[in-house]
Amino acid sequence: MLNLSRPLRPAQIIAMLSIALPLWLPLQALAQSSGTDIAAAQVPVLAVVKPARACTDLATVALDDIGGAGSRITEAAVTSDGAAPACAVKGMLAPSIGFEVRLPTETWTQRYLQVGCGGLCGNIRLTPGAAEGCLPLQAGDFVVGSTDMGHQGRDASFGDDPQKRADFAHRAQHLTALTAKRLIAAFYGRPQAYAYFTGCSDGGREALVEAQRYPNDFNGIVAGAAAMNFQVQNALFHAWQVRANTGPDGRAILLAGRLQLLHAAVLQACDGLDGIADGLVSDPLACRFDPARIQCASESQDPNTCLTASEVAAARKLYDDPRDPATGERLTVGGPLPGSELAWAGVYVPVGPDQPVFGRFIALEALRNMVFTPNPPAGFVLDDLVFDRALFERLRPLHPLYDATNPDLSPFAAAGGKLILWHGLADPHISPVNTIAYLTALQAQMGKEHAAAFSRLYLFPGMYHCSGGVGPSQVDLLTPMLAWVEAGTPPGAVIARQPERNVASDFGAPGLWGPGGRPAGPSGADRPEAVPRAGAPISSTAILRTRPTYPYPVIATYDGGGDPNRAESFGPGASAATFTMPAWTGADFYRPYAPRER
């Protein structure tokens, strides 16, 4: 069913491993360390710098030349509610970009970290994801900053304002970076030595926007599950997923209680591709699975053991892309990957027959307010959509505004910037194919050797959207980035941990949770309150298993004899498939383009 890859030839496998093997950590070290500890040993120890002036003095720092007339500091006061005492500075950049910067008063080691936000933002978050166990972060060594992206709250009507669209698209993060650096220089009497950005979901898009539009803002950028293909992702992908699972009567075809059956069939077909059957599909591009293999053979067959013909048809559509009815051309770059089935619950497969799904909310939010010029008339609903090339072409004008798929990172690389991309392979919200396609385009644009000098991609089996899932998902990518930027040590394998108690509902589907155990999205939720949480945040500190993840395209393969729950029992191996950019309507989105300002 999933025609995204082709088998590798032996020569390709040998060449791939010859490049990847120098990057992986020795198994002896993996057996005795988390991977974070190894990277931490490579991070230089920078001197602590104390403030040169009082926190309250920052209230007078001028910002008009950064944000425009009316930009101002609204609050500057010492707080102790973080990792270490800090001067918390809040303010507004014109017309309405809220920001907060926290500057340690006792522990600053000359590093700045800016944190992206998810969904359509609307609030300020200072806690980064993918930094589990990062010692400098835990010690309060960073100045940390963030922004609400130019609007407050969850109302997407800000998309009616061209200026606020631009602030959300690119301006807010850049101006916040300039503001934070000015505050650093004012408070400590010297600039930061290094600046970093990390974000997931829309925060991942924001990270790539920074690399593509503002290559001198940050030395190191960590971009997770990036909504880089914003126009297609939010408008077409989620709208199609909802439509694909809707029957002629307007009701959902597949319900969440049926996903365990589908997932089990996928595991039976593809779980062992990495040498071990452990409940994870580690090589989904190589998975050849057709839901028809579990279609009921007759009406008398036990429905608990098979899917109906309509359920099979819906599942096929969910894996596949929407296509132009006249030409059969794909309208998206790829759908969810095999192994992600449990994560569909609540996103585009409802928990119950009358329950809402998050995908409908995402799609309508974007379609009504964000992705078209002009916006559609009041009363627009998903049933108004016709999935064809004409719809896609209506999304094209704002592609250069919102999207972050430009593969020409020459200025960022020339400035010495480093980029880590990462994605959960079981992500239901944003297909990992988007990120794989971006790295492929980056390599095609800049050459594989040049791209490998400043970029890495990590794909985590069983991880859902930004965190959680059925696989190891607690990971620290910030420490390897520090080692890469400051010591010139390229990252190799990173170790992901899986808590003993995972996020799961009674039927085995995940909760709709984002980084840090919070519901994803603005004000703690990327979804309407009516969508139920199918679980609870991870609270256990006991670790069920650890697993190495190697830079793409290398996958972790079982050694055949060790403890399958320990990272040292796995080594680098070749995928059974390689990604090729599919022919789809927006293939040119992954080529260089001039960004649009508004």
Place of tokens 């400590």: 188
State the pairing for strand pair 554-558/577-579. Answer: unpaired
Are 537 and 503 contacting, i.e. CB atoms less than 8 angstroms apart? yes
Is 304 a member of any domain? yes
When divided into structural domains, the chain yields a total of 1
Give the pLDDT score at 155. 80
Q: Name the token pair of 96.
A: 């309405």
pLDDT tens by residue, 300-334: 899 899 999 999 999 999 999 999 999 999 999 99
Q: Is 409 helix (H, G, I), strand (E, B) or coil?
A: coil
Residue 189 — left, alpha, or beta (φ > 0 → left; ψ -120 to 50 → alpha)? left
Are 112 and 94 contacting, i.e. CB atoms less than 8 angstroms apart? no
Are 7 and 576 contacting, i.e. CB atoms less than 8 angstroms apart? yes
DSSP 110: S
Integer Cα distance of 182 and 459 in angstroms:
36
Q: Is the dihedral of CA 453, 15, 559, 504 positive or negative?
A: positive
Q: Name the token pair of 136.
A: 């400098």
Q: At what angle do helices 202-213 and 172-188 cross, to 10 degrees?
A: 80
Maximum distance among all Cα pairs of the chain, rounded to whole angstroms = 79
- State pTM to two decimals: 0.90
Are 499 and 541 contacting, i.e. CB atoms less than 8 angstroms apart? yes
Is 349 a member of any domain? yes
Q: 190 to each of 52, 110, 140, 184, 581, how far by Cα in Å?
A: 9, 9, 18, 7, 46
Integer Cα distance of 396 and 372 in angstroms:
9
* Planar angle of CA 210, 213, 216, nearest 5 degrees: 65
Is 456 a member of any domain? no
Is 213 a member of any domain? no
Give the residue among 456, 474, 455 at the shortest CA–CA distance from 464: 474
Please, which residues have CB within 8 angstroms of residue 72's CB and are 6 or more apart in sequence? 63, 91, 92
Integer Cα distance of 144 and 132 in angstroms:
16
Q: 290 to each of 244, 334, 342, 345, how far by Cα in Å?
A: 16, 16, 17, 20
Is 209 a member of any domain? no
Are 537 and 522 contacting, i.e. CB atoms less than 8 angstroms apart? no
Query: SS3 helix, strand, coil % of the chain, rounded to 5?
Result: 35, 20, 45
* No. of helices (H) and no. of strands (E), the chain: 19, 15
Integer Cα distance of 373 and 395 in angstroms:
9
Is 192 a member of any domain? no
Are 459 and 372 contacting, i.e. CB atoms less than 8 angstroms apart? no
Integer Cα distance of 570 and 485 in angstroms:
27
Phi/psi of residue 583, nearest 5 degrees: -75, 110
Place of tokens 């309150």: 529
Is 391 a member of any domain? yes
Give the pLDDT score at 537. 40
H-helix or E-strand containing 418?
A: strand 418-424
Q: 380 to each of 162, 365, 367, 375, 383, how far by Cα in Å?
A: 20, 11, 8, 10, 8
Q: Is 224 helix (H, G, I), strand (E, B) or coil?
A: strand
Give the pLDDT score at 41. 79
Q: Name the token pair of 34.
A: 């988390």
Integer Cα distance of 445 and 437 in angstroms:
12
Torsion of CA 435, 440, 443, 449, to 10 degrees: 90
Low-confidence ranges of the chain (pLDDT < 50): 1-34, 503-539
Provide the residue type at 341 as one letter.
E
Integer Cα distance of 284 and 579 in angstroms:
11
**Residue 345, domain extent:** 233-399
Are 225 and 200 contacting, i.e. CB atoms less than 8 angstroms apart? yes
Is 372 a member of any domain? yes
Give the pLDDT score at 578. 87
Place of tokens 């589907």: 509
Integer Cα distance of 412 and 376 in angstroms:
37
Residue 507 burial by CB count (10 A; 0-12/13-18/19+): exposed, middle or buried?
middle
Integer Cα distance of 469 and 457 in angstroms:
19
